[in-house]
Amino acid sequence: MYSTRPVKIAGMGYYVPPNVLTNFDLEKMVETSDAWIRERTGIRERRLAGRGASTSDLATEAAMACLRDAGVTAREIDLIIVASASPDYLFPATACIVQHSIGAVNAAAFDMEIGCTGFIYALATGAQFVAAGMYRKVLVIGAECLSRLVNWSDRTTCCLFGDGAGAVLLVEGSHGEGLVAFHLGADGSGKDLLSLPAGGARMPASSETVEKGLHYIHMEGKAVFKFAVKIVDAAVTKVLEKCGKTPQDIGVLIPHQANLRIIESACERFGISRDRVVVNIDKYGNTSSASVPIAMCEALHEGRIEKGDLVVLVAFGAGLSYGAAAIIWS
Ligand SMILES: CC(C)(COP(=O)(O)OP(=O)(O)OC[C@H]1O[C@@H](n2cnc3c(N)ncnc32)[C@H](O)[C@@H]1OP(=O)(O)O)[C@@H](O)C(=O)NCCC(=O)NCCS
């Protein structure tokens, strides 16, 4: 008979670079104001990777913190999955670079790119390997160096994004706890609403693409906003249905940190009080694939997640894509 093993999170870690860029700093770079950014997004400041650093460096720091937390050595890791919209290269995979940098010599490694939903997709994917019994220890990392892909003269996007990384270790758990449900989805008809047009096979880099700024993040903010509000509602509803829970059962909601107004709309819809939702967008901005694991780590460190809590993760992003996960904390 086909049977699967339960899967739980055995450790977590995160890393944000020390370099802070505040809204006031941005006021000196583009025509914007601290008041506008705070009111429209909830962001006060964001972290930027230091000169020469890239996504794999941030991912490595988060991975090491996660391994320390779990009390596991790098040699014990069977698989590394890195979710990122800002990988070091188109290839090789950032996961292979991390595999080498942490010394996980026994691990397979691959990347996943599904925009800001990346971590949820990677978590679901990593969980399948443990559930199937193929691997025992899977490291799932969300890592971004979006500051390298942002047009710092475009005020509509440059105030939104930040750099950082978060990691979790997945192992076999006990029945009735751990990762109990996932809901993943996509709507590719919205592919042009949030993209990095040039540098891939569709539009290879050229002097013309650079001249036109096509190697920077392009976003139609209002359309993405509307999608996000609708899809957070739908994804959370679906994942709760899948594990037989209701919004009242949610102990801690950890949403992707893209815009405080999107998060507030979800809280209102589900009747979730602010003390049950994790918000750190004010400090880090939108760190894409890294935002959910960073927020989850911080919430745990702050004692906001307890054993037995129903923790719901939800994210959305380029693709357009979306996903939610339900965890009974163990
Ligand atoms: C980007 C976002 C904050 C913009 O907020 P908004 O309320 O939709 O603002 P608009 O784009 O309608 O712009 C309103 C005005 O503010 C201006 N504006 C845009 N960015 C600005 C900035 N940083 N500072 C000052 N003014 C700004 C616009 O130019 C526009 O001016 P206009 O009316 O003269 O044309 C919002 O649309 C958003 O958060 N979208 C979702 C983004 C998201 O989640 N992305 C990640 C997905 S993973």
Asked, for residue 1, whether it belongs to a domain, the answer is no
Q: Are residues 133 and 191 in the same domain?
A: no
* Average pLDDT rounded to a whole number, residues 298-316: 97
Annotated active-site residue in 256, 259, 280, 297: 256
Q: Which two tokens stand for residue 27?
A: 């006021």
Q: Are residues 169 and 64 in the same domain?
A: yes
Asked, for residue 297, whether it belongs to a domain, the answer is yes
Residue to substitute in 259, 260, 265 for testing ligand 1 pocket (most ligand atoms within 8 angstroms of CB): 259
Prediction pTM value = 0.96
Name the residue with the closest Cα to ligand 1, atom 42: 221
Beta-carbon count within 10 A of 220 CB: 15
Alpha helices in the chain (DSSP H): 23-27, 34-41, 55-70, 94-102, 118-131, 155-158, 207-211, 221-242, 260-270, 281-284, 291-301
**How many whole angstroms separate alpha carbon 173 and alpha carbon 42?**
37
Q: Which residues pair with 307 in a beta bridge?
A: none
**How many whole angstroms separate alpha carbon 165 and alpha carbon 144?**
6
DSSP state string for 19-42: -EEEHHHHHTTSS--HHHHHHHH-
Q: Are residues 160 and 276 in the same domain?
A: no
Q: Are residues 32 and 165 in the same domain?
A: yes
Q: Are residues 105 and 117 in the same domain?
A: yes
**How many whole angstroms separate alpha carbon 313 and alpha carbon 275?**
15
- Domain boundary residue, one of 145, 176, 207: 176
Q: Which domain holds residue 188?
A: 179-328
**How many whole angstroms separate alpha carbon 123 and alpha carbon 150?**
26
Binding-site residues, ligand 1, Cβ < 6 A: 32, 36-37, 40-41, 116, 155-156, 159, 194, 219, 221-222, 224-225, 228, 258-259, 286, 316-317
Q: Are 178 and 327 in contact (CB under 8 A)?
A: yes
Q: How far, in Å, is the centroid of ligand 1 from the Cα of 221?
A: 6
Reported as a single tens digit per residue, the pLDDT across 239-296 is 999 999 999 999 999 999 999 999 999 999 999 999 999 999 999 999 999 999 999 9
Residue to substitute in 156, 229, 284 for testing ligand 1 pocket (most ligand atoms within 8 angstroms of CB): 156
Q: Are residues 200 and 54 in the same domain?
A: no
Reported as a single tens digit per residue, the pLDDT across 5-48 is 999 999 999 999 999 999 999 999 999 999 999 999 999 999 99
**How many whole angstroms separate alpha carbon 215 and alpha carbon 9?**
36
- Inter-CA distances, 327 with 7, 92, 312, Å: 10, 32, 6
Q: Is 23 a catalytic residue?
A: no
**How many whole angstroms separate alpha carbon 73 and alpha carbon 96?**
17
Annotated active-site residue in 23, 259, 280, 286: 286
**Residue 2: what pLDDT?**
53
Give the side-chain half-sphere CA count within 13 A for 43. Answer: 30
Number of separate domains in the chain? 2
Name the residue with the closest Cα to ligand 1, atom 1: 221
Name the residue with the closest Cα to ligand 1, atom 10: 222
Reported as a single tens digit per residue, the pLDDT across 290-303 is 999 999 999 999 99
Q: Which residues pair with 116 in a beta bridge?
A: 114
**How many whole angstroms separate alpha carbon 18 and alpha carbon 238?**
38
Give the side-chain half-sphere CA count within 13 A for 46. Answer: 32
Does the pLDDT of residue 153 top 60, yes or no?
yes
Q: Are 299 and 278 in contact (CB under 8 A)?
A: yes
Domain containing residue 287: CATH number: 3.40.47.10
Q: How far, in Å, is the centroid of ligand 1 from the Cα of 188?
A: 23
Q: Which residue has the higher pLDDT, 304 or 2?
A: 304
Q: How far, in Å, is the centroid of ligand 1 from the Cα of 223?
A: 11
Q: Are residues 135 and 203 in the same domain?
A: no
Q: Is 256 a catalytic residue?
A: yes
